Amino acid sequence: MSNEEQIEYWNDNAGLKWAQQQGAMDVFLAPVTSLLIDAAAIAPGERVLDLGCGTGETVLIATEAGAHVTGVDVSKPMLDLARSRADGRAELLLADASEYRADEGFDLIISRFGVMFFEDPVAAFANIKANLKPGGRMVFACWQSPKVNLWVMVPMQAIKPLLPEAPETDPHAPGPFAFSDPDRLKSILTDAGFANVSMTSHLVDICISQSDGVDGAAYFSSQIGPASRAMGEVDDELKSKLMVALREALAPYDDNGRVVLQGGIWIVRAS
Distances (CA, A) of 68 to 21, 50, 220: 27, 11, 34
- Cα dihedral 124/127/128/131 (nearest 10): -170
The number of beta carbons lying within 10 Å of the beta carbon of residue 171 is 13
What are the C-alpha distances in Å from 94 to residues 4, 58, 97, 118, 151?
A: 14, 16, 9, 16, 30
pLDDT mean across residues, the chain: 95
Between 12-16, 80-84, 87-91, the lowest mean confidence (pLDDT) is in 12-16
Provide the pairing of β-strand 47-51 with 254-255.
unpaired
How many domains are contained in the chain?
1
Asked if pLDDT for residue 99 goes beyond 60, the answer is yes
d(CA 177, CA 88): 33
Between 229 and 158, residue with greater pLDDT? 158
First to last CA, the chain: 23
Rounded CA gap, 28 and 35, in Å? 13
Q: What does DSSP say about strands 258-270 and 254-255: parallel, antiparallel, or unpaired? A: antiparallel
Confidence of residue 200 (pLDDT cuts 50, 70, 90): very high
- Residue 105: pLDDT band by 50, 70, 90 thresholds? very high
Which residues lie closer than 8 Å to 189 by C-beta, 6 or more apart? 125, 197, 268, 270
User: What is the distance between the alpha carbons of residues 58 and 265, in angstroms, rounded to a whole number?
Assistant: 17
What is the CATH classification number for the domain harbouring 234?
A: 3.40.50.150
**Does residue 1 have a pLDDT over 60?**
no
Q: Tell me the pLDDT tens digit for each residue of 187-196.
A: 999 999 999 9
pLDDT for 169 equals 81
177-187 average pLDDT score:
97
| Higher local confidence (pLDDT), 105 or 169 | 105
pLDDT digits (tens, 9 = 90+) for 122-180: 999 999 999 999 999 999 999 999 999 999 999 999 999 999 887 888 888 999 999 99
pLDDT of residue 2: 60
Confidence of residue 213 (pLDDT cuts 50, 70, 90): very high
CB 139 within 8 Å of CB 267: yes
Q: How confident is the model at residue 233 (pLDDT cuts 50, 70, 90)?
A: confident
Q: Which domain holds residue 226?
A: 4-270
